[in-house]
Amino acid sequence: MGVVAGLSRLMDPVLAGLVVAAVLAVPAALLIRAGAGGMAALGGDEDERRAIQCGAGER
């Protein structure tokens, strides 16, 4: 909030908010992408999924 207030002295307050949002969106997108990759790794491989299905009685 302080960054937006500081930038609003130099430019339009709405534009200052958009600039800060754009700057924060880049690392947020990178963190989401890294987290999604980590979640996919937790899904296991094909052999593990097949073993789980056999153990649950599904064939």
State the pTM of this model: 0.55
- The whole-angstrom separation of Cα 13 and Cα 50 is 56
**Taking a C-beta distance cutoff of 8 angstroms, is the pair 20, 3 a contact?**
yes
Please write the tens of the pLDDT for every residue from 20-40.
999 999 999 999 998 888 887
Annotated domain spans of the chain: 2-55
Buried b (16+ CB within 10 A) or exposed e, 5-39: eebeeeeeeeebbeebeeeeeeeeeeeeeeeeeee
Reported confidence tier of residue 5, pLDDT bands at 50, 70, 90: confident
Query: Where does the chain show beta strands of DSSP type E?
Result: none
